[in-house]
Amino acid sequence: MIPPQEASVRRREIEDKLKQEEETLSFIRDSLEKSDQLTKNMVSILSSFESRLMKLENSIIPVHKQTENLQRLQENVEKTLSCLDHVISYYHVASDTEKIIREGPTGRLEEYLGCMAKIQKAVEYFQDNNPDSPELNRVKFLFERGKESLESEFRSLMTRHSKVVSPVLVLDLISGDDDMEAQEDVALEHLSESVLHDVIRISRWLVEYGRNQDFMNVYYQIRSSQLDRSIKGLKEHFRKSSSSSGVPYSPAIPNKRKDTPTKKPVKRPGTIRKAQNLLKQYSQHGLDGKKGGSNLIPLEGRDDMLDMEIDAYIHCVSAFVKLAQSEYQLLTDIIPEHHQKKTFDSLIQDALDGLMMEGENIVSVARKAIIRHDYSAVLTVFPILRHLKQTKPEFDQVLQGTAASTKNKLPGLITSMETTGAKALEDFADNIKNDPDKEYNMPKDGTVHELTSNAILFLQQLLDFQETAGAMLASQETSSSATSYNSEFNKRLLSTYICKVLGNLQLNLLSKSKVYEDPALRAIFLHNNYNYILKSLEKSELIHLVAVTQKTAERLYRDHIEQQIQTYQRSWLKVTDYISEKNLPVFQPGVKLRDKERQMIKERFKGFNDGLEELCKIQKAWAIPDTEQRDKIRQAQKHIVKENYGAFLHRYASIPFTKNPEKYIKYRVEQVEDMIERLFDTSA
């Protein structure tokens, strides 16, 4: 059992807790009542607000709809008024623009184009909305008149401002690639910036709105004329300046001017003029021996003319490339893209045809000269052909996109020149072989024949044009080995050709030498020519080119030279045989000579003296131009004669074979040596 005291305490705690719960419950009831009251009040307020909103909406919505209708009506009125203003403006276009259109676009292009835009819009409006309106005809007339004025302005601008490029500026342009020092690029300004802007604006308008391509024909005709005149002006510049000052130059860059305006300057070696002179002189007699067959003008004048023509043509080719490049750059700004190639093709035709025709004329002149055996003419083809081949990559790049007939013009000229050059080379070799043996044309002193010097001088020119000459010969090859030409193949062909010419020359010289009745003079003649050929080959480095296919050429020529020296020396046997020991009696000291023996000694002295005098008299008039060879032959002959005559004189000078020894012992050994020393010296 719980003790009474604890039960009482427990009861009090429960009662207190119960009292608290009752108070809490009472508080909750009061709160709920207040909440209900507030809810009722809020519902009442919201109901009142809803009622008021309904009333407001019912009164506002009709007003809003009415206002919206009014705004729509206002907008429609404004649009109608705007459309009316727009339509009315088309009816005023003709009167507003007629004065400007009539006066033309000069000096106010932008304003003029603005008027044309208004007229064009008016035309489009009337065509779409009122095609029967008289206003349509009026604005159409104005549009056509305006278009004609723009076309006329385009022509006028191009005509007035397209100027011929001066020769000085062209020379600066084509020499720019040669100048290694830093310098400003030479640029061509065909049209000023303002004029170019106007031309471009007109061309674009004519293409876009004028539906007209006639202006492109006007453009290429005007620019074509200027291009052609620029190149002809350069040629005329050469013609006027070359006679007094040599190769023309531009004073714009006086310290940087090059003689030749190409990346690889065309060489004009000093020997080319010498070769031309000698070849032309010889062609007056002709390789066929016919005198005066070529009807050449004086050599001095012809040299200057040839030099001028060659240099002028080479410069004109380079000028065409540079000017055509410049023309294409200008054209791309003015002509629509899809018409550029065709227009450019037409633009360059006159200038290109002029160059090609001039090139063909050079070929034609060369062909005629070759028929006359004037092989100096082919020397004009070599530098030109080389330059054309060097310039061909630039040519091809400039002519990219042009017609096939245009692209093929330069290759056609190159082929023509190669064919003509190859024909000249082969014809020259054949004529070297077949040049007839004419006695009047043979050197009396046995010196170098004109044919030899001409042939060597001609071959020396090939050193400066090895690639060109090799390609000429290769162009005529039909064998399978020639299907793919290369530098080494061309070099071998040229080497073979030079060996052929030298072989033909040697055969001809052997044939010509037979004209000489004296075998010794024949030997001197062959010696001089062989020696000249060898020295010329070595001096000009032709020997290296010959050695490509003929390794032993140098040794063979030295052998030939030595053989001719030995042949010449045999001419002295008729002199030295008199004083040789064979068939001479042996004389005992103190024994008196018999008459027969004395007579024999006299005959030997007389035969030696007469033979020596005769040989020296004859051979003194002969010539050995090479000092080294002349001294060598003299020394060898002096040694032989000195050895024999000295021994003969030592043996018989003291023997009393005559009462008048001075009659037979006419010369001392030193005197004989001095006589031989004066051989081959026409001035002695």
For residue range 254-299, what is the model confidence (pLDDT) as tens digits? 333 333 333 333 334 333 444 444 444 433 333 333 333 332 233 3
Long-range contacts of 298-303 (CB under 8 A, 24+ apart): 303/273, 303/276, 303/277
The pLDDT, as a whole number, for residue 562 is 95
Extract the tokens encoding 221: 């005709």
- pLDDT at position 106 over 60: yes
The pLDDT, as a whole number, for residue 649 is 84
Nearest to 120 by CA among 85, 95, 93: 93
pLDDT, mean of residues 84-101: 73
Q: Minimum mean pLDDT among 73-77, 195-199, 250-254, 279-283: which range? A: 250-254
Whether 305 and 376 have beta carbons less than 8 Å apart is answered as no
> Of 320-329, 432-441, 638-647, which one has max mean pLDDT?
320-329
- pLDDT at position 483 over 80: no
DSSP string, 74-130: HHHHHHHHHHHHHHHHHHHHHHHHHHHHHH-STT-HHHHHHHHHHHHHHHHHHHHH-
The pLDDT, as a whole number, for residue 315 is 93
The pLDDT, as a whole number, for residue 481 is 47
Mean pLDDT of the chain: 82
Give the span between the Cα atoms of 344 and 219, in whole angstroms. 10
The pLDDT, as a whole number, for residue 558 is 95
The pLDDT, as a whole number, for residue 645 is 87
Whether 84 and 104 have beta carbons less than 8 Å apart is answered as no
Give the span between the Cα atoms of 125 and 107, in whole angstroms. 29
- pLDDT at position 253 over 50: no
- pLDDT at position 411 over 80: yes
Segment holding 24, helix H or strand E = helix 4-103
User: 630 versus 304: which is more confidently predicted?
Assistant: 630
- Count of positions (residues) in the chain: 684
- pLDDT at position 404 over 50: yes
The pLDDT, as a whole number, for residue 248 is 47
Long-range contacts of 79-86 (CB under 8 A, 24+ apart): none
pLDDT band at 124 (very low <50, low <70, confident <90, very high): confident
pLDDT band at 83 (very low <50, low <70, confident <90, very high): low
- pLDDT at position 425 over 80: yes
Q: What is the pLDDT of residues 365-391, one digit of tens each?
A: 889 988 888 887 778 889 999 999 999
The pLDDT, as a whole number, for residue 304 is 57
- pLDDT at position 574 over 60: yes
pLDDT, mean of residues 187-216: 87
Q: What is the pLDDT of residues 140-197, one digit of tens each?
A: 888 889 989 999 999 999 999 998 999 999 998 888 655 444 344 556 788 889 999 9
Extract the tokens encoding 373: 């055996």
Extract the tokens encoding 415: 């082929």
Return the number of other C-beta atoms located less than 10 Å from residue 14's C-beta.
10
